[in-house]
Amino acid sequence: MPRIHRLAPDLANQIAAGEVVERPASVVKELVENAIDAGATRVAITIDLGGKRLIRVEDDGEGMEPEDARLAIERHATSKIARADDLGAIRTLGFRGEALPSIASVSHFTLRTRARGSQSGTEIKVNAGAIESVREIGAPEGTCIEVADLFYNLPARRKFLKSDVAETTQISRLVTQLALGYPEVGFTLTTSHSTGSGPGGRQLLQAPPAGSLRDRFFHLYGERPDLVELKKDAAGLHIEGFIAALGDQGPVRGSQNVFVNRRIVKDKTIAHAIIESYSVATIKERSPEVHLFIRIAPDRVDVNVHPTKAEVRFLEQSLVHEVLRRALGEALGRGRATEVQFRLEQPLAAAADPLPMNIPGVWAGAVVGNRWSPESFNPGSSNRESFNRGSPIPNRESSIPDQGSPIGDQGSRIGDQGSRIGDQGSRIGDQGSGIGDPGLKDPIIRPMIPLGQFRDTFIIAVDDEGVAIIDQHVAHERVLFELITERLTSGRLESQRLLTPILLDLSPSQREALRQHAATLERFGMEVEEFGGDSVRLSAVPAVLDPAECEATIRELTENLEGLDGGTRADEALRRIAATMACHAAVKANYPLTLDKMRYILEELRRTAYSSVCPHGRPVVLRLTRREIEKNFQRI
């Protein structure tokens, strides 16, 4: 059994360096953090060959007296904590006293420093952890540390470094983050050209001291109209930030900078809160660009949980999560209306309670005339039996106050209008008894109240369970499909004879398909016969069909039927014909509807149990549930 022995300090430092000093960027991080802890107002960083040849960090902070300078490079020597208690509420970036000795153990290290008010400065040179020289020098107030030839004594480590460009990128990303965390501190990042290409160095970043986080942010990132500003104080947390607005592009990936008490961290709680806020707001999950600055009392967060202090642990994780989620959600809502999640309406199972005769607050909304659609319905389509019901809504114009009337007058007119609306209400009430009629075929499904149309294509409706968007064409198609198939089971569809028969030229196989299914087509109220040559003659069509649609319907039917050979079951042919007819008979998209027509479609849809898909499999209803709405308005 080999004897246990203490490691030489150099070796111990190198082992510590393995954790703290991973790459040039980690050296820069430790040195800049020290400068910030020393109260610097300006930090100048110079790197050469991605920091592999040289890293120099100069600051105008408080500097060190000679004695402190010597201690600084000793392991576990720190000015930042003294007792175990201090670990409970750390206010500085450093606290372990490990960085300088670790870095010095794996490089050619030079420390020059002069304490504020001191006459002279100190220079200490260390090679791979061994002190080479300590001397008194003339130096500006503050501290300058040079780290040359990082890992020169650890070739295995050096091999793992990336290209100069890659290491430089890492460093500039890190300095950007540090600069975000400390707007009041001026930063410069420069490359020095030791390779001799061109005079002087190249400035990678220059950030003069800024008056606010906002100024610093826009200095570093430019004007960013795609970001939303966030500010929130809650539960002892102060949160500021700039976060990606909900764009039109869908999912976005972007850089995420999260600071807790000005320390850059990666934290699962925070990351999750971000994902959740965005996934509530948009349908797709995204990893958005987020810059978050969180301040919390130092005793409510543990920073001593990670070797490079890149993680923290919140004492009240779920609280932080919740506050953050809300702050983000609010900010996103400000940037743009929150896009709340929709889900497909599933066919409703039998609900427990009977249909309410009235839904509080919903009827009231429905009695106000439809602002989006004209009241008159295109008379050209009056042959659609679906729209034969009269409109119970009185002429809206009559209840709108005269524009040109004097104000005094208007007042009384508005009073008038009120009573008219009352009138309207009672009329709807009448009709309501029809809609809410428990005698309906399927009274357990709640009625939806149409509010209007969106883009003349979608019906917006509400019921007690939420808001629904209904594709008017698909919904009507579904309704007609049910109607057609229902009629077929009890005989045949009503037919309308055409005054002028329609002649159609079809291919032989199309004509053959029609001939094969002639009997079935007749049940649909369709009379087709061969008319010599390529022609067929259409002399009667189903009553549900607009004659203008007949030709297109027949053409589509022949295509649908062509594929069906004699062996196909007859009901499949029926189904296809019914689907094609329903599609052509249904109200189109981009077609204005009156409230009454919408009500009709919804009512008929209710009879089909709000069928969730059209005969072609397209969804009929999108639902925004009450729960989703209440959740997003933070009412639950």
Ligand X SMILES: Nc1ncnc2c1ncn2[C@@H]1O[C@H](COP(=O)(O)OP(=O)(O)O)[C@@H](O)[C@H]1O
Which stretches of the chain bind Mg ion, using CB under 5 A? 34, 94, 99
CB of 276 within 8 A of CB of 292?
A: no
Contact 625, 465 (CB under 8 A): yes
Nearer to Mg ion, 93 or 468 (CB): 93
Residue nearest to ligand X (CB): 94
573 binds, among Mg ion, ligand X, none (CB under 5 to 8 A by kind): none
What CA dihedral angle connects 374, 379, 385 and 390, to 10 degrees?
A: 60
DSSP state of 316: T
Q: Which does 267 bind (CB under 5 to 8 A by kind): Mg ion, ligand X, none?
A: none
Residue with smaller CB distance to ligand X, 262 or 515 = 262
Of these partners, ligand X, Mg ion, none, which one is at the site of residue 59 (CB under 5 to 8 Å by kind)?
Answer: ligand X
CB of 189 to ligand X, least distance (A): 17
Q: How far apart are CA 221 and CA 219, in angstroms?
A: 6
What are phi and psi for residue 107, nearest 5 degrees? -160, 175
Nearer to Mg ion, 99 or 550 (CB): 99
Shortest CB 80 distance to ligand X, Å: 5
Q: Which is nearer to Mg ion, 96 or 420 (CB)?
A: 96
DSSP secondary structure code for residue 170 in this structure = H
Which residue number, 59 or 477, has a Cβ lying nearer to ligand X?
59
520 contacts which partner out of Mg ion, ligand X, none, CB within 5 to 8 A by kind?
Answer: none
What are the DSSP calls for 539-559, one per residue? EEEETTS-GGGHHHHHHHHHH
In this chain, which residue has its C-beta nearest to Mg ion? Answer: 94
Structure tokens at 4: 């246990």
Which of ligand X, Mg ion, none has residue 78 at its interface (CB below 5 to 8 Å by kind)?
ligand X
User: Of 99 and 355, which CB lies nearer to Mg ion in the complex structure?
Assistant: 99
Beta carbon of residue 86, minimum distance to Mg ion (angstroms, whole number):
15
- Of 62 and 477, nearer to ligand X (C-beta) is 62
* Distance of closest approach, residue 287 Cβ to ligand X, in angstroms: 33
The residue (of 58 and 603) whose beta carbon lies closer to ligand X is 58
Amino acid found at 455: R
- Taking the complex as a whole, the smallest distance from the CB of residue 296 to ligand X amounts, in Å, to 21
Choose among ligand X, Mg ion, none what residue 463 binds, the Cβ cut-off being 5 to 8 Å by kind.
none
> What's the token pair of residue 574?
């029926």
Residue with tokens 């990678």: 204
Instruction: Please report how close the Cβ of residue 92 comes to Mg ion at its closest, in angstroms.
Output: 8
The structure tokens 């090679």 sit at 127
Which residues of this protein are in contact with ligand X, per CB under 6 A?
Answer: 30, 34-35, 38, 59, 61-64, 72, 77-80, 94-100, 143
- Contact by Cβ (8 Å): 461, 471: no
User: Do residues 51 and 149 lie in contact, with contact meaning Cβ atoms separated by under 8 Å?
Assistant: no
Smallest gap from residue 240 Cβ to ligand X (A): 26
Cβ contacts of residue 370 below 8 Å, gap of 6+? 450, 451, 452, 453, 594, 595, 598
Q: How far is the CB of 40 from ligand X (least distance, A)?
A: 7
* Secondary structure of 460-490 as H, E, C letters: EEEECCEEEEEEHHHHHHHHHHHHHHHHHHC
Q: What are the tokens at 277?
A: 């806020």
Give the one entry of Mg ion, ligand X, none that residue 452 binds, where binding means its C-beta sits below a cut-off of 5 to 8 angstroms depending on kind: none
Q: Which listed option, Mg ion, ligand X, none, makes contact with residue 79 (CB within 5 to 8 Å by class)?
A: ligand X
Residue 61 interacts with which of ligand X, Mg ion, none, CB < 5 to 8 Å by class: ligand X
What minimum distance in Å lies between the beta carbon of 13 and ligand X? 10
Report the amino acid identity of residue 84.
Answer: A
- Which residue type occupies 293? F
When the beta carbons of 97 and 525 are compared against ligand X, the nearer one is: 97
Angle, helix 472-489 to helix 595-607, in steps of 10 degrees: 50
Q: How far is the CB of 149 from ligand X (least distance, A)?
A: 20
Q: What is the largest CA-CA distance in the chain?
A: 116
**Beta strand pairing status for 237-244 and 290-295?**
antiparallel
Closest to ligand X by CB, 174 vs 332, is 174
Beta bridge mates, 502:
538
Sheet strands side by side (includes 458-463): 343-344, 621-625, 466-471, 458-463, 449-454
Helix (H, G, I), strand (E, B) or coil at 214: helix
Q: Rounded to an integer, what distance in angstroms lies between the CA atom of residue 4 and that of residue 12?
A: 15
Could you tell me where the DSSP H helices lie in 302-441?
317-335, 362-367, 407-435
Binder of residue 600, out of Mg ion, ligand X, none (CB less than 5 to 8 A by kind): none
Rounded to the nearest whole angstrom, what is the least distance from the CB of residue 30 to Mg ion in the complex? 5
Closer Cβ to ligand X, 109 or 278, answer by number: 109
Residue 72 C-beta: closest distance to Mg ion, Å: 9
466 binds, among ligand X, Mg ion, none (CB under 5 to 8 A by kind): none
Evaluate whether 528 touches 521 at the Cβ level (below 8 Å).
yes
The string of DSSP letters for 567-621 reads TS-HHHHHHHHHHHHHHHHSPPSS----HHHHHHHHHHHHHTTT-SB-TTS-B-E
Closer to ligand X by Cβ: residue 50 or 142: 142
Task: Supply the minimum distance, in Å, between the C-beta of residue 336 and ligand X.
Answer: 43
Beta pairing, strands 42-48 & 343-344:
unpaired
Which of Mg ion, ligand X, none does 38 bind, CB closer than 5 to 8 A by kind?
Answer: ligand X
Cβ proximity to ligand X: between 127 and 399 the closer is: 127
Which of Mg ion, ligand X, none does residue 64 bind to, with CB < 5 to 8 Å depending on kind? Answer: ligand X
